[in-house]
Amino acid sequence: MKRILLPVLLSLIVVIMSACGQERTTGNPSAPASTAEGDATEKEVIVLGTSADYAPYEFHKSIDGKDTIVGFDIEIAKAIAADMGAELKIEDMDFDGLLMALDTEKVDFVISGLTPTEERKKNVDFTDIYYYAEQAVLVRESEGGTLGSLKDLSGKQVGVQKSSIQEGIAQGIDGAKLTSLAKIPELILELQTGRVDALILEKPVAEQYVKNQQGLELSDIKIEQAEDEAGSAIAVKKGNQELVKQINATLQKLKSNGDIERFVIEANELVGD
C-alpha cells in the first residue's frame, strides 16, 4: 500500500505547487511589490537633468567625504520629488545637451537656471518662473572700471556658456568675439589665463566666483532685460502638461512658504564653506 500511495501523493503535491506558481505569475510583472496592507514598497523614480557647474544653482560639493550635487535648484527638485512620492535621480551633463535629453526621455525634467525663451518653448514646455536673477560681466581684477556698457565689449573676446541665455546676449554685441564652452569652470580658466577678456554670467554665479577666486571682479556694466528674459523655469517634455501642473503646485507652495529664498541663502553659504 505504501508503494502505491506514495506516487499518488507526490503527483498531488506537484499539481498543487504548479497551480501556486501559475497564480504568482498572472499579475502585472512590472507593478511594484506590495506589503500586506497593499502599499507599494518601491517608489517611482523621477529623473532630473542638470548641469552641476553653476553655483549656487547646482554644483558639486564634498559632503561627509562624498561628492554630492547640491544647490538651490537641487533642493527644489527634492521638494518636487517628495510631493510626487517619488525617488529623485540626478543626471549631470553638459548644459547644451539638457533639452535633447528631455526630448529623448533620458530625463523627466530639467532644472539648471534655465530661461524660458521663445525659441526653447518651441521644443519643450516650461513651468512658472521660480527665480529672477540679473546678468553680470565678470572680468579680471582692476579691469572692471574700464567697462561701462556692453558696447565696450566690442572687439573683445567674450566667454559664455554654450546654448545659454548669456550666449544670446553676447551675440547681440557688435564686434564682440565669442568663446562658447560647455562648462563654467572652463570659462573661468579662460578668463584667468587671458584667453578671454570678459565673461557674461548670471550675477549670483559671478558673485560666487569673485568671492571664492582671487583676481576676479564684476564690471560696472548693467545688462537690462525684460522680466520674462531674466527668470529661471523648469523644463519638461513637450505636451506633458500634467507634470507641469504638478511641478507648479510645488513651486507655488515653496514660494508661499519662503522656502526658495531660504534655499538660495543656504546654497550661497554652502558654496563658501
Domains of the chain: 45-132+231-272 (3.40.190.10), 135-224 (3.40.190.10)
Residues 203 and 132 sit within 8 Å (Cβ to Cβ): no
For residue 228, the model assigns a pLDDT of 62
For residue 257, the model assigns a pLDDT of 96
For residue 66, the model assigns a pLDDT of 97
For residue 43, the model assigns a pLDDT of 78
Angle at which helices 203-212 and 259-272 cross, to 10°: 30
Which grid coordinates belong to 255?
514660494
User: Which residues lie closer than 8 Å to 230 by C-beta, 6 or more apart?
Assistant: 115, 132, 133, 134, 135
Residues 96 and 160 sit within 8 Å (Cβ to Cβ): no
What are the residue ranges in the chain where pLDDT is below 70? 1-41, 227-228, 272-273
